[in-house]
Each structure stands twice: as C-alpha cells, then as structure tokens.
Amino acid sequence: MSQPDEKIRETVREGYSQIAQVGSGCCGSSTPEKLAAGIGYSGEELKLLPEGANMGLSCGNPTAIANLKPGQVVLDLGSGGGFDVFIAAKRLGPDGRAIGVDMTAEMISKARVGIPKFTERTGLSNVEFRLGEIEHLPAADRSVDVVISNCVINLSPDKQQVWREIGRVLRPGGKACISDLALKKPLPEEVLKSAAALVSCVAGAVLIDETITMAKQAGLEDIEVTEKTYNVDVMVDCNDPIYKQVTEYLLEGTKISDYVVSVDVTAFKK
C-alpha cells in the first residue's frame, strides 16, 4: 500500500476509534435514533438493538434492500457497533449467520459487548464480529449469501479491491446491498484535504459511474443504483460537529447535498 493510502487508513482508524470511545458519530449522542428513523429504520428494529449499537453512522438502510431470508449468511463490511449486523441477524433466524467485519479494535470490542443483550432479547446466537480490513476480508471464498455495507466503502483508499473482495466471498447468485455516499460533481479542493471530510465519509466519495464500473470489474452484474438526496440532508440536519467543519470549506451558497448523494447499490454475483 502506498504511503498516502496508509495515511488515509490511519486517519480513518483513529477517527472511528474515537467515535467508538465517545459512543456516537455522525449525529451526536442525542440523535442517532432520529437519523436512523429518517433514513428508513423502523422503531421495532431499533428496539431490539443492544445499547451502543446505533452510533448515528448510517447513510442508508442496506438491510431494507437486501430482502434477507432465514438461513442466509450475511457479511457486513465496516460493521462498527453492530447496528446492521444485529438487525440482519433477527431476520436470518437461528439457522442463519450475521458476521460483522471492522478494522477498528475498539469497534469490534463494542459490538461484541452487545451480543449477550441481543441474545437475551431475541433468543438468537447467530452473530459474530471479526477484526479485519474490508480490502482483505476474513471470510472464505464463496461463503456468503449477502454482503451489506453502510457508509463505509467510501472510506477505503482502494475501493476496487473492496469490490473484488465482495465478488470473492459471495456465492454464485449472491447479492451485494450497499448504502453509501456518491458524488454528483467534484468537491472543492479544500474539502478533499479535510480530515473531517474523510472521517464523515464525504471526501472519499466517488462518482456513481465509478462505483458501477468497479462492481462490474469485480464480476458483479444486474447493478442498480438508487439515489436518495434526502438521506444526506437528514445527516447534516443532525447538527454533527464533523459535518459543520466540512461545510466551512464549501463554496458560498452551497451545501453538502449539492455535491453528495446517498445511494443504494445492489449487484449480483455471476
């Protein structure tokens, strides 16, 4: 990995280690529920979550587009406190498996603490969390039915490698369901240099066409992209200090949603 790429990785790792310790991210400690509700999570889903799993780090709801079925194996890239893993696990039932991967040890520890409470509330023991990088997933070839990810791939300095890994771990006929941020037009140079913009998922976003190309090169097909500008507005309206720092670098009279859109991406393994 090049030195600039490693610097990006360490910036992200440090930023999310701090978020794990504080206990909340994009929306601050008082409003993760507001964000989750605003982007499509139901009250019933949120009630089953262990304390601390929802840290306001979402930009979409990949479990809603995944059409999960009992007995499937689901892998969540950049699982954080386990938010989407726990929600997926409830849908998969006792014969399924929900696996979270995160490169931040503090996030993995935080997520694992929630497993007993999840089991107590649901009677399910079908969750695990693995420490690892999404560019080098700790999962076997063709071992996963559905890959999900929520506002994480944009953080990677090697997005094509992430998509290759998605293609590798998916079984034939398997599905990738990704919620992420994408660019509508290039960001101002000062935003791209901002560490806050990187940690908040803005600086690492790429154009939608680039995402489609990377998915195709990873051997995926039937790729569909749905834009959701509203999700970005909800994220910014949460008065998160990180987003406030980003807006300071925008051109006068513009807002983040002029440049960035939340997208749901679905694609299938051949």
Q: Helices (H) and strands (E) in the chain — how many of each?
A: 13, 8
Q: How far is CA 233 from CA 24, 118, 164, 238, 262, in A?
A: 19, 31, 31, 9, 9
Tokens matching residue 147 = 């890959």
Q: What is this structure's pTM?
A: 0.85
Q: What CA–CA distance (Å, rounded) separates 180 from 118?
A: 26
Q: What CA–CA distance (Å, rounded) separates 3 from 233?
A: 34
Q: What is the pLDDT along the chain (270 residues), one digit of tens a residue?
A: 555 677 767 777 776 777 767 655 544 434 677 778 777 789 888 888 998 888 777 788 999 999 999 999 999 999 999 999 999 999 999 999 999 999 999 999 999 999 999 999 999 999 999 999 999 999 999 999 999 999 899 889 899 999 999 999 999 999 999 999 888 888 777 766 665 555 555 667 888 999 999 999 999 999 999 998 655 666 555 545 555 566 666 777 777 778 888 899 999 998
Q: What CA–CA distance (Å, rounded) separates 7 from 263?
A: 27
Q: Are 83 and 54 in contact (CB under 8 A)?
A: yes
Q: Are 215 and 223 in contact (CB under 8 A)?
A: yes
Helix boundaries (H) for the chain:
3-22, 32-38, 43-47, 62-66, 83-92, 105-113, 115-122, 159-169, 189-192, 195-199, 208-217, 229-237, 241-247
| Topology of the domain covering 3-269 | Rossmann fold (3.40.50)
Tokens matching residue 40 = 């499509």
Closest-CA residue to 155 (of 19, 255, 35, 38): 19
